[in-house]
Amino acid sequence: MRAKFYSLWTKMRGHFLFRARTLFIGGVGIAFIVIVVCGYWFNWDWAGLGAYNPPLHGSDVQRGKTLWDWLQLLIVPVVLALGGVWLNQLQQSRERQAAQQQATLERELTTDNQQETLLQVYIDKMAELLIEKNLRVSQPEDEVRNIARVRTLMVLSRLDNVRKGSVIRFLHEAGLIEGVKPIIRLQGADLSHIDLREADLHQANFRLANLKQALLSRADLRGAIMSRTDLQGANLHAAILQGTDLSAADLREADLSIADLQGAIVMGTDLRKATISSAQLARAKSAQAIILS
């Protein structure tokens, strides 16, 4: 609490001093302009801005020093002082910027380390379920499946896009998300913005998963089940979708350019604003009743 109060007081004091310096310099500048204008307008001799009266011929008497004469003596030190203040402010600004960048970098490193630890712990726990609890040969009603699904959904909601992709690749290689009745169901999983470019995901089951803005370009999704999956804005450029079940999937604004849709099921699929050609649709199975507009 004391640290927060001190930090707040430091920020307020710095802001107050900056405003005070700004007001002082502005006030001095305005006063100087007023004196100059009024000196010329009202012919103020004391300001040194009135008509110049030279000394009489043959006289050694010099006129007295005026305000303008004194100001000429002060110009150099004032300029140096203002320059010093400006340089000091510039240095402080650079130091604050460097400190902020350092703090941001440290936060990013901390977050990255935390996520890497979280991923490693998840994989270790899943390996334990596979080896010691026989997850792969478990029955749908077994508790070990519920534990594996809960852990998977939790970790997917906390990882970044690349590490989400690592989790899905691990599950697929372990044979846990394949087929009509996968061991771990991804229904409701947060896979938005996941990076699965060029991944081998044939026969993976993503039914009812959230794959908004997912990166799936050149991914192998042959025979995958993606019915009623949210794929809004997903990048499926050049993806292999042969025999993929995309029925009733949401593919609005998705990029399906040069994707292989041979034998894909797209009945009831929402393809509004999606990048797709009529030739691609012609190769898809059950292409009737798709939503294109």
* Residue 226 and residue 204 in contact, taking contact as beta carbons nearer than 8 Å: no
CB 169 within 8 A of CB 151: no
Most trustworthy range by pLDDT among 64-78, 146-160, 276-290: 146-160
Q: How many helices (H) and strands (E) does the chain have?
A: 5, 0
**263 in the Ramachandran plot: left (φ > 0), alpha (ψ -120 to 50) or beta?**
left
Q: What is the pLDDT of residues 18-29, one digit of tens each?
A: 666 667 766 766
> What is the predicted pLDDT for the residue at 291?
61
Look at 74 and 84; give whichever has higher pLDDT: 84
The predicted pLDDT at position 245 comes to 95
Residues 260, 278 contacting (CB under 8 angstroms): no
CA distance 201 to 182: 13
Beta-sheet strands, E only, within the chain: none
In the three-class reduction of DSSP (H, G, I as helix; E, B as strand; rest coil), residue 225 is classed as strand
Residue type, 138: S
SS (H, E, C) 165-181: HHHHHHHHHCCCCECCC
- Note whether 266 and 286 are within 8 A (CB): yes
**Cα–Cα distances in angstroms (integers) from residue 190 to residues 112, 130, 139, in the given order:** 19, 23, 25
Q: Which residues pair with 204 in a beta bridge?
A: 178
pLDDT of amino acid 76: 66
> What mean pLDDT is reported for the chain?
83
Q: Who has greater pLDDT, 234 or 76?
A: 234
Q: Is the pLDDT of residue 258 over 80?
A: yes
Per cent of the chain over pLDDT 90 is 55
pLDDT at 42: 63
Question: Is the pLDDT reported for residue 286 higher than 60?
Answer: yes
Q: What is the pLDDT of residue 52?
A: 53
What's residue 8's pLDDT? 54
Q: Would you state the structure tokens that stand for residue 244, as one six-digit string? A: 């993929």
Q: Give the Cα separation of 272 and 285 in Å (integer).
A: 19
Rounded to whole angstroms, the Cα distance separating 216 from 211 reads 10
Confidence of residue 239 (pLDDT cuts 50, 70, 90): very high
Where residue 168 falls (left for φ over 0; alpha for ψ -120 to 50; beta otherwise) is alpha
SS3 285: strand
Long-range CB pairs of 206-214, under 8 A, 24+ apart, other chains included: 206/177
Q: Which of 35-39, 79-83, 112-116 has the lowest mean pLDDT?
A: 35-39
Range among 53-57, 75-79, 132-136, 217-221 rated most confident: 217-221
pLDDT at 53: 57
